[in-house]
Amino acid sequence: MASFNFAAWPPQLTPEQLEALTLAATTYALSHGLLYLPPSQSPSNTQPRIPTTAIHAPLSLIPAPFPRAQFQAARGLQSVYNVLYARVAMDTQFLDTVMGAEEGVGKADEFTGTLWRGWKKIREHGVVQPLHLGLFRSDYMLHAAEDRLALKQVEFNTISSSFGPLSERAAAMHRNILASTSYFSASPHLIADNFPENNTTSGLAEGLAKAHEAYGVRNARILFVVQPNERNVFDQRWLEYELLEKYISISPIIHRLTQHDRHQIHVVRQTLADLAVSACLDPSTHALTITTPSLTNPSPYEISTIYFRASYTPSDFPSPSYYDTRFLLERSRAIKCPSLPLQLAGGKKVQEALTRPGVLERFLSHEGATWDTRALDLTAHAADIRATWMGMWALNSEDADIAAVLDHLPISGQGQENIPPGTRLARIKAPSLVLKPQREGGGNNVYREAIPAFLDALPAEEREAWIAMEMIETPRGVSGYLVRASPSSSGTDNGSTEKKVVRAEVISELGFFGYALFGEGEVVEREMGWLVRTKGTESNEGGVAAGFSVLDSVVLV
């Protein structure tokens, strides 16, 4: 790894080679379901109910270089992170303090506060389903510091951790290009041993199947709660097909199928608006049933597991009735992925709170644990976990350590007596920081030079909703070939390589997936795959669905 020159990546290609690789990549993607729905051409931005066209997902022609040691380190930490966030979700007092609307971030952030208040009301009436399912993703970048590369966590996702199936297909695409072209022997690093396997689809489906099994009703179905006009439908459909084709439901046991077995774990897809009409809760058993349109009579289906690919952003709740529907689902006996406490556990404020002295160690310990005193003691991993974190703090922090840092800086505190030390330090260190709110989905953060003006405009009562985090400084000079599908509104596209492929200086982000089923006894969990998203250095954000980056994979160096 020490001899690898990131600034010399990617290897040089002739125009003819670049065209051949682009053809290989795009045709593989279109042939193997590495797809998106195209942007809507309607004024209302709606997608057709029955799609007739698809485009390949944005992708990278050559995989991103990533040190083998850091890749393996991230993989090894995923099980620890799975258990950590399971335990956070089961610590009601901690979540009330950090994320609640009475003494936590929910006071300043209305969306978080509304979710927390709904959860609190459900707790007061009695939670009927003790089990939670998490399909997690822990995202990392390489941090170049002191002549070495360190693995640093961007965030930990507990809701709608997307692109597992499509990332598996992106990795398969790169392996296929390697097999068919050898990448024209352009680099000695582009060999099969450096292209790790990625089986995310089966792992995510396994987590959903285990929750379905734990529910224990043979003919129940899994509910996917989706956003209207979703373009990233194929990423979700691959999970649906995996459940239908590879598992058989025989209460109370789920069997992986052989080639000749029949298969039946069915999925129902509904938006929150659909569920406002179709969902019904049995008043005595709390079983959730969904009535779907039928060619004959409406068919009610009992739901075993609710997988949320929506409800993570305020725009998913255009009116209070949408929250009512979300809370109805939470009150049901179905296993939620995630439950409200697990969704709250994924907040940026929790990420920051875990960095405080002793907090991580308490969650990794089993002594006096509210989750299960028989649980494994994982405190031996605390140093490795902490080593993945950048410095971070709350904007409203009055922490003595932050105040001490300010005291040693050659600046004047005159006129800032009423401004919290956390905000003052964020202003001073703005060129090396990102500010993060309690939001998912991309496009929400404030970066570097934009921070001072943002702090000037931020009302004092909203500071509690934000954290400051040191920027991860990735290796400089790394480039990539980025391929986007850009169908024109006129429908004309000459398909030229020059228009389709852009060589740009890039930053890559590695995410590892894991699942955890927990709430009664031990945490059932495992790591099960990874993704890479690559973006141009001019973009601060990293969301593929939000249009900032492309799907990629890794070449281990």
**Positions marked catalytic:** 137, 155, 157, 162, 348, 436, 440-441, 533
Contact between 249 and 219 (Cβ < 8 Å) = yes
Q: Work out the number of other CB atoms within 10 angstroms of the CB of residue 309.
A: 21
Measure the CA–CA gap between 379 and 501, rounded to whole angstroms. 47
Half-sphere exposure of 450 (CA within 13 A, CB side): 8
- Quote the longest CA-to-CA distance of the chain: 77
Phi, psi (rounded to 5 degrees) for 133: -120, 130
> DSSP readout, 132-182?
EEEEEEEEEEEEEETTEEEEEEEEEE-S----HHHHHHHHHHHHHHHHHHG
Contact between 510 and 554 (Cβ < 8 Å) = yes
Q: Work out the number of other CB atoms within 10 angstroms of the CB of residue 384.
A: 13
Contact between 332 and 281 (Cβ < 8 Å) = yes
Contact between 249 and 218 (Cβ < 8 Å) = yes
Peptide bond into 58 cis (omega under 30): no
DSSP annotation of 127: -
Measure the CA–CA gap between 234 and 29, rounded to whole angstroms. 12
R_g (Cα) of the chain, nearest Å: 24
Measure the CA–CA gap between 465 and 433, rounded to whole angstroms. 16
Tokens of 364: 């990794």
Contact between 198 and 242 (Cβ < 8 Å) = no
DSSP annotation of 107: G
Measure the CA–CA gap between 548 and 533, rounded to whole angstroms. 9
Measure the CA–CA gap between 234 and 165, rounded to whole angstroms. 8
